[in-house]
């Protein structure tokens, strides 16, 4: 991106690398010298700014290599630092930590970078890598529920982070519009359609029971009248028993029943009729999902249909590759992939005895196609129950000639919604669930987006409805947005007092903003590009959220200690300049996690 510059941390790293090279030159042993040059010392922000701004453990890491005391090494490294305009003072602390204090004007320049780069501040240089992020990909068998919302918020935030960090990102939703669940969806819709024609049937235990199915059936009835109506005797004759409870004992087989019912439905209304019913249900639900996500601020670049895997010959292409590589064998009439040769715990069926390809065959074909589209990294965001999926898909990729490390999977733990102390159950098929849209309508998009990414994806999330609706600082989203609104109010008050903000004067007089609280705020704000880099590398939007909360706290501390609207024009404009920079960083961070930046609250 344009106007991209190294972070302050990276600039220190570059200087330290030059110092280490100079220090290495003092050793006659070439092996020791090379080890020093190859060192990757840890550099971090100083935990307490009274000791400096950055600290490094380089000297302690070199003790065994250089066979010197760490404090002596630290002195040599400091002496080897090249002339630069960045560091005001270097010092040694404890057993050998090297602390660096930056010149005040460096932070003033960073403030100017914020306003000069505006929405681009924090953006990293292009890494020249394409990343395909697959996320949400919920079966289109019903509306999105609260659990899907966490996938959506996390996936969208990770996409935004990666883009800001310099990756070329393509967000994709894999539409499971083929296979058994679609058969059950169509059959469920047809049974509800029959009920609208006066044919009351016992609804299958394993069918989709939500009210949305009745609405789809109503639209189907309006469009096709009684075209697909059949007598109940023709429907149920010779079908196996559905699951029943007789005298406290479970009888029947719900899976066999629903599969047989789907087959009977096809026999009665024909393949074309069945497809009409299926497409009516699919189109309605998929349209609802797209609208729901769009209203939530989540927009995928592509919606990839599972049907394409067959229609475009992608599964055949993948299986041909496996066979050409000698990684497929036949057993019991089925075709098996030698997954154990590539680190999986067992071999996997790719073609069943009846000639039908498996879900696994679809999975590896889809991921091969992702790679063949030129993507370097395939980042899948999946439910926590997909743990076993990782090894077998990596095995498939490797067997097809693709690097297994090109696949990265982030597993999402469950999001549990609470009303008061009562846990709300969510089951799509049973129809008893809280939809994402209901949640958004109740707490708002901003609260939903923030709450979903406040914790690591690896942690379970208890979504507290009451907290999300609070209008005070206990509510994290309120706390963040209030900081932004407070800055907006300062500029509104400025106008009311007939003052005019002069940005140029503010930039020229930043040296006047020299209080401890101002220094802490400016120093903390300058971490933003580093936080973007860290959050993107760890796929961790919660790290960015925590930073924004801490930045807001530093701002409130500054605001409460340093009066902004003062009579001195130069000091007033300088402090307003600082507020403008804080406001910009908040806006940039808010955009990544998908919350708004209100001007008043």
pLDDT in tens, 12-57: 999 999 999 999 999 999 999 999 999 988 899 998 888 899 999 9
pTM here is 0.95
pLDDT in tens, 574-590: 999 999 999 999 999 99
| Helices 476-496 + 541-561 axis angle, to 10 | 40
pLDDT in tens, 467-509: 999 999 999 999 999 999 999 999 999 999 999 999 999 999 9
Q: Give residue 419's region: left, alpha or beta (phi > 0; psi -120 to 50).
A: beta
Instruction: For the domain covering 8-102, report its CATH number.
Output: 3.30.1360.70
User: Residue 330 and residue 345: Cα distance in Å, rounded?
Assistant: 19
pLDDT confidence of residue 238: 87
Q: Where exactly are the structural domains of the chain?
A: 8-102, 108-125+472-593, 130-174+297-412, 180-295
551 and 520 in contact (C-beta within 8 Å)? no
User: Residue 365 and residue 351: Cα distance in Å, rounded?
Assistant: 13
For the chain, the first-to-last Cα distance in angstroms comes to 34
- 8-102 and 108-125+472-593 share one CATH topology? no
pLDDT confidence of residue 1: 39
pLDDT confidence of residue 237: 82
- How far is C-alpha 231 from the chain's CA centre? 50
Residue 311 pLDDT exceeds 80: yes
Q: Of residues 168 and 3, which shows the higher confidence score?
A: 168
pLDDT confidence of residue 243: 86
pLDDT confidence of residue 49: 83
Which parts of 312-350 fold into alpha helices (H)?
A: 314-324
Reported confidence tier of residue 348, pLDDT bands at 50, 70, 90? very high
Reported confidence tier of residue 433, pLDDT bands at 50, 70, 90? confident
Share of the chain above pLDDT 70, in %: 98
Reported confidence tier of residue 330, pLDDT bands at 50, 70, 90? very high
pLDDT confidence of residue 478: 97
Over residues 131-157, mean pLDDT: 97
Average pLDDT, the chain: 95
DSSP reduced 3-state for 387? coil
pLDDT in tens, 227-266: 999 988 888 888 898 987 767 777 899 999 999 999 999 9
Beta strand pairing status for 168-175 and 43-45? unpaired
Instruction: For the domain covering 108-125+472-593, report its CATH number.
Output: 1.10.730.10
Which parts of 43-144 fold into alpha helices (H)?
A: 58-61, 63-66, 70-80, 104-117
The sheet with strand 168-175 has its strands ordered as: 302-305, 168-175, 130-134, 377-383, 407-412
CATH of 130-174+297-412, picked from 3.90.180.10, 3.40.50.360, 3.40.50.620, 3.40.190.290, is 3.40.50.620
Least confident residue range of 209-213, 249-253, 356-360, 538-542: 249-253
Length of the chain: 601
Residue 2 pLDDT exceeds 50: no
Which whole-number Å values give the CA distances from 81 to 13, 40, 84, 96, in the listed order?
Answer: 11, 16, 8, 16
Least confident residue range of 151-155, 170-174, 186-190, 233-237: 233-237
pLDDT in tens, 279-296: 999 999 999 999 999 999
pLDDT in tens, 166-179: 999 999 999 999 99
Share of the chain above pLDDT 90, in %: 90
Residue 459 pLDDT exceeds 90: yes
What are the φ and ψ backbone dihedral angles of 207, each rounded to 5 degrees? -85, 170
pLDDT in tens, 50-68: 889 999 999 999 999 999 9
Reported confidence tier of residue 430, pLDDT bands at 50, 70, 90? low
Burial 274-311 (b: 16+ CB within 10 A, else e): bebbbebbbebbbebbbebbeebbbebeeebbbebbee
Kindly report the number of other CB atoms within 10 A of residue 565's CB atom: 14
Residue 425 pLDDT exceeds 70: no
């Amino acid at each position: 991106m344009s106007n991209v510059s190294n972070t302050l941390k990276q600039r220190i790293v570059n200087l330290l690398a030059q110092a280490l090279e100079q220090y290495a030159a003092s050793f006659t042993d070439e092996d020791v010298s090379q080890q020093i040059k190859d060192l990757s010392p840890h550099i971090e922000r100083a935990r307490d700014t009274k000791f400096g701004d950055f600290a490094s453990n380089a000297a302690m890491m070199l003790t065994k290599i250089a066979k010197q005391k760490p404090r002596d090494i630290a002195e040599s490294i400091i002496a080897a630092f090249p002339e630069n305009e960045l560091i005001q003072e270097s010092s040694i602390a404890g057993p050998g930590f090297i602390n660096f204090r930056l010149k005040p004007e460096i932070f003033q320049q960073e403030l100017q970078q914020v306003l000069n780069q505006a929405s681009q501040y924090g953006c990293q240089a292009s890494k020249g890598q394409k990343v395909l992020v697959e996320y949400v990909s919920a079966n289109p068998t019903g509306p999105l529920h609260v659990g899907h919302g966490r996938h959506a918020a996390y996936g969208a935030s990770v996409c935004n982070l990666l883009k800001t960090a310099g990756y070329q990102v393509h967000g994709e939703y894999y539409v499971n519009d083929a296979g058994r669940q679609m058969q059950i969806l169509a059959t469920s819709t047809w049974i509800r359609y029959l009920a609208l024609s006066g044919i009351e049937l016992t609804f299958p235990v394993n069918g989709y029971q939500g009210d949305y199915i009745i609405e789809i059936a109503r639209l189907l009835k309006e469009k096709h009248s009684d075209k697909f109506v059949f007598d109940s005797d023709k429907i149920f004759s010779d079908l196996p028993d559905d699951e029943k409870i007789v005298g406290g004992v479970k009888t029947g087989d719900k899976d066999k029943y629903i599969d047989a019912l789907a087959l009977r439905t096809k026999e009665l209304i024909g393949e074309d009729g069945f497809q009409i019913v299926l497409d009516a249900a699919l189109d309605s639900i998929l349209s609802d999902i797209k609208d729901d996500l769009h209203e939530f601020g989540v927009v995928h670049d592509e919606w990839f249909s599972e049907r394409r895997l067959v229609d475009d010959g992608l599964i055949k292409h993948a299986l041909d590759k496996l066979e050409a590589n000698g990684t497929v064998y036949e057993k019991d009439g089925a075709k098996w992939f030698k997954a154990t040769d590539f680190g999986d715990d067992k071999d996997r069926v790719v073609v069943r005895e009846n000639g039908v390809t498996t879900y696994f065959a679809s999975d590896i074909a889809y991921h091969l196609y992702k790679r063949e589209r030129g993507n370097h990294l395939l980042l899948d965001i999946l439910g926590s129950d997909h743990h076993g999926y990782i090894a077998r898909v990596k095995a498939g990729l490797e067997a097809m000639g693709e690097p297994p490390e090109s696949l990265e999977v982030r597993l999402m733990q469950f999001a549990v919604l609470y009303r008061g102390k009562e846990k709300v159950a969510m089951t799509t098929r049973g129809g008893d669930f809280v939809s994402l849209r209901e949640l958004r309508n109740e707490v708002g998009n901003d609260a939903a987006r923030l709450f979903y990414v406040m914790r690591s994806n690896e942690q379970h999330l208890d979504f507290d409805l009451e907290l999300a609706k609070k209008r005070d600082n206990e509510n994290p989203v309120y706390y963040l947005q209030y900081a932004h609104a407070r800055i907006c109010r300062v500029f509104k008050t400025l106008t009311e007092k007939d003052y005019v903000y002069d940005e140029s004067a503010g930039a020229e007089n930043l040296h006047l903003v020299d209080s401890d609280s101002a220094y802490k705020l400016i120093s903390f704000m300058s971490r933003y590009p580093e936080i973007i880099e860290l959050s993107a590398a760890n796929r961790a939007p919660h790290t960015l959220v925590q930073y924004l909360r801490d930045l807001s706290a530093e701002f409130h501390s500054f605001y409460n200690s340093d009066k902004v609207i003062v009579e001195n024009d130069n000091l007033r404009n300088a402090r307003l300049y600082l507020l403008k920079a804080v406001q910009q960083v908040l806006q940039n961070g808010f955009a990544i996690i998908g919350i708004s930046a209100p001007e008043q609250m």
